[in-house]
Structure 1
Amino acid sequence: MSYNCSVCEVEITIKEKEYSLKNYNAALFRTHQCKTSNDESSNEETSTSGYSQSWVPSVIKGRIAETIVEELFKSLGFQVYKYGMEHSIPGITDLLRGVKDDVATNIRKMPDFVIFKNDRAHFLEVKFRKSGAFTIKDLDPKGDYPYHNALILLVSKKHIKCISYQELKDEKEITPTCRNYLGNRKEFETDKETIKEYIKYALKFFETVD
């Protein structure tokens, strides 16, 4: 009998299923178990075991943001491929347990998507922040983010904004009032009206998010 992660539907072992049900009340691939202690939810209220009590909403919000971005770029004529560690190398989480070298770090920090259009490729890292703010510390607190050509798409309750890793490194940032709109990025030939339609989807899904 096979078991699947309730978030990404990757096949998991019975031991993974039993462990995650015991500790997180859901069947989870180890990548998503790790997110409970490493993502932004780790800054929120935690239980006596040290894990966030609000990890489920955090994972769901991230998955919705990724889906909105994925479908948006498909509608804009891009080829979109999931590129994150759990999608590109299923099972690699087990192999990397306890490994802290540069290669392992690069794999763990793989962007969410790689997109293609007009013989150009881009790495995309998708984030959701209800605050609409994002800085270099949110992406690269240790100064070891390896994908220096990545673009970060920030989905919030009101906008989809974009900034490059290099811009973040140069101490630029996304704020609720900045004009780093996705439709203004020179890297893409984008249709602003299409982007507005997907912003409406974001508003619909996130309007009641705390």
Structure 2
Amino acid sequence: MSPHNLYLLKGFNLLIPIAGIKGQPETAYDWIPFGVTVVGRPGVRLSLFDLSMSSENIIKGRIAETIVSEMLQRADYLVYRFGYEGVLQSLIQKGLPKMRADNITAEKIRTMPDFIVMDRNNDVFFVEVKCGDSAENSRGFREWLRKATKYWPEAKLILVYTHEPYFEISTIKDYAKTRRLYRLYEDKFLPVDKKWVTRYRELVMTYLSR
């Protein structure tokens, strides 16, 4: 594993280790990216199935989440991790259970927004972060949007781009209906000062425009 990959692992918490799972050959998979389903039983070789998303897009998505989280904190918001990745990590640690695909509660968990965000007036928002460059035209994004509109319609959706305007926002419900987005610093309910948008777009260009 290259030093660059190690930096990503430590700096952005992108991947989770599975070394030591019984029945898993040491040379097969040292790390599993978030967003990948693990299927198997203790003592049996595991198989990995990508959830309609390449590893590169998974990594970029996690970096985008980290950039937005740091930017919101600099803008005086309190930010708490909430999404599916945290649940997935807990499930893996407790024995790799596989949720039924047709279960409503499982669907709701899979579409959980990434963050809970609180402003200075103690108003609370759910926030989901996506890479706009790779997500908007993908089948996986369209399927996620359909389900998220059903379970989390009032959550905020922040799309991160590698070009102007870099950060745009809407509610999941409104975006699904109109496909309209607004510049983050112009949002009425979750505004971020333009100086922070300018500063953090540099990180977007550094880590996502490759």
Confirm or deny a common fold (TM above 0.5). yes
1:167 aligns with 2:170: no
Q: 1:9 to 1:138 in 2, by over 3 A?
A: closer
CA distance in 2, matches of 1:188, 1:142: 20
Structure-1 separation of matches of 2:197 and 2:49:
31
Deviation at 1:105, TM superposition (A): 0.8
Alignment pair present for 1:64 and 2:68: no
Report the RMSD for the aligned CA atoms in angstroms: 3.2
* 1:120 alignment partner in structure 2: 123
The alignment-based identity, stated in percent, is 21
What is the Cα deviation at residue 96 of structure 1? 3.8
Distance 1:82 1:199, change over 3 A: same
**C-alpha distance 144-130 of structure 1, shift in aligned 2 (>3 A):** closer
C-alpha spacing 1:61/1:36, structure 2 compared with 1 (3 Å): farther
Q: How does 1:139-178 map to 2 (within 5 A)?
A: 139-140=142-143, 143-145=146-148, 146-158=151-163, 159-173=166-180
Asked whether the equivalents of residues 76 and 190 of structure 1 are also in contact (C-alpha less than 8 Å), the reply is: yes
Output the CA distance in 2 between the equivalents of 1:20 and 1:111: 34
Any idea what SS the aligned residue of 2:146 has?
coil
Q: How far 1:12 sits from its partner (Å)? A: 4.1
User: How many angstroms does 1:201 deviate by?
Assistant: 1.5
For 2:153 and 2:25, the matched residues in 1 are separated by: 36
Q: Does 1:28 align with 2:41?
A: no
1-structure distance, mates of 2:197, 2:68: 10
Match of 1:77 in 2: 76
Instruction: Indicate how the Cα distance of structure 1 residues 144 and 63 shifts in structure 2: closer, same or farther if over 3 A, else same.
Output: closer
Change (3 A) 1:61 1:155: same
What residue ranges of structure 1 are gaps of 5+ in the alignment?
1-5, 42-54, 175-179
Using the TM superposition, give the Cα deviation of residue 40 of structure 1 relative to its aligned residue in structure 2, in angstroms: 3.6
Structure 1 residue aligned with 2:21 = 15
The aligned amino acid for 2:173 is: Q
Structure 2 unmatched ranges of 5 or more: 1-8, 38-47
Give 2:42's aligned residue: none
Cα distance in structure 2, aligned partners of 1:119 and 1:26: 42
User: How far does residue 130 in structure 1 lie from its aligned partner after superposition?
Assistant: 2.6
Whether the 8 Å CA contact 2:128–2:156 is kept in 1: the answer is yes
Kindly tell me: are residues 87 and 137 of structure 1, through their superposed partners in 2, closer, same or farther at Cα, counting changes over 3 Å? closer
In structure 2, relative to structure 1, the CA distance for the partners of 1:128 and 1:142 (3 Å cut) is closer
Q: TM-score, normalised by structure 1?
A: 0.71
Q: Secondary structure at the match of 2:58?
A: helix
Q: Is the 8 A contact 2:83 2:115 kept in 1?
A: yes
Separation of aligned partners in 1, 2:105 and 2:204 = 35
The 1:26–1:155 alpha-carbon spacing in structure 2 relative to 1, beyond 3 Å, is farther
Greater relative contact order (Cα 8 A, min sep 6): structure 1 or 2?
Answer: 2
Change (3 A) 1:20 1:206: farther
Q: Report how many residues are paired.
A: 181
| C-alpha contact 1:128 1:154 (8 A) present in aligned 2 | yes
Q: Could you say what secondary structure the match of 1:115 adopts? A: strand
